[in-house]
């Protein structure tokens, strides 16, 4: 079973369409809505955890993109605010994917968004709130 958290942004003209229903029916994907912002006649956003066979997941993402939706991994929504970061390293102890690491010998905290799973452990661990989730 393949599982990934994604951010889906969609244009106003698609809000009324049963897009998520089609992911379930046509691609046999299980979904969990983690966060959503849906308003009539306005651009919307959803954070979903999608699970299923890898080929079904890939097909579902292709389907969403063909419908005009933007799909990106949740990890792209996590960022490091370099102005707030004091490089204490507290976040590195909580990062399960090694997306956060200490550069030696400078002891600077480095963030690799490609390794980030979007778990948000770093957000709660950071005493200066330098790790941020930008969903909206």
How many domains does the structure of the chain reveal?
2
The last residue of one of the domains, among 48, 68, 88, is 68
CA neighbor of 6 nearest in space, from 94, 69, 53:
69
In sequence order, which residues have a C-beta less than 8 Å from that of residue 114 and are 6 or more positions away?
A: 75, 99
Asked if residue 28 belongs to a domain, the reply is yes
Q: What is the CATH number of the domain that holds 15?
A: 3.30.70.260
| Predicted confidence (pLDDT) per residue in 73-115, tens digit | 876 678 899 999 999 999 999 998 899 999 999 999 999 887 8
Give helix 19-27 / helix 54-66 axis angle, nearest 10°.
150
pTM of the model as a whole? 0.61
Lowest-pLDDT range, 10-19, 58-67, 95-104?
10-19
Asked if residue 91 belongs to a domain, the reply is yes
Shared domain for 64 and 6, answered yes or no, is yes
Asked if residue 36 belongs to a domain, the reply is yes
| Predicted confidence (pLDDT) per residue in 32-54, tens digit | 988 888 887 888 888 888 999 99
3-class state of residue 55 by DSSP: helix
Residue span of the structural domain in which 6 resides: 2-68
């Amino acid at each position: 079973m393949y599982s990934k958290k994604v951010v889906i942004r969609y244009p106003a003209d698609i809000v009324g369409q049963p897009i998520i229903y089609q992911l379930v029916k046509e691609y046999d994907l299980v979904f969990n809505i983690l966060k959503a912002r849906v308003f009539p006649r306005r651009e919307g956003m959803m954070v979903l955890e999608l699970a299923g066979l890898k080929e079904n997941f890939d097909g579902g993402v292709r389907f969403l993109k063909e419908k005009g939706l933007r799909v990106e991994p949740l990890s792209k929504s996590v960022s490091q605010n370099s102005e707030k970061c004091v490089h204490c390293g507290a976040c590195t102890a909580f990062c399960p994917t090694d997306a956060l690491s200490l550069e030696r010998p400078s002891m600077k905290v480095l963030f690799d968004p490609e390794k980030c799973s979007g778990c948000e452990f770093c957000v709660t661990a950071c005493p200066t709130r330098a790790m941020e989730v930008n969903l909206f």
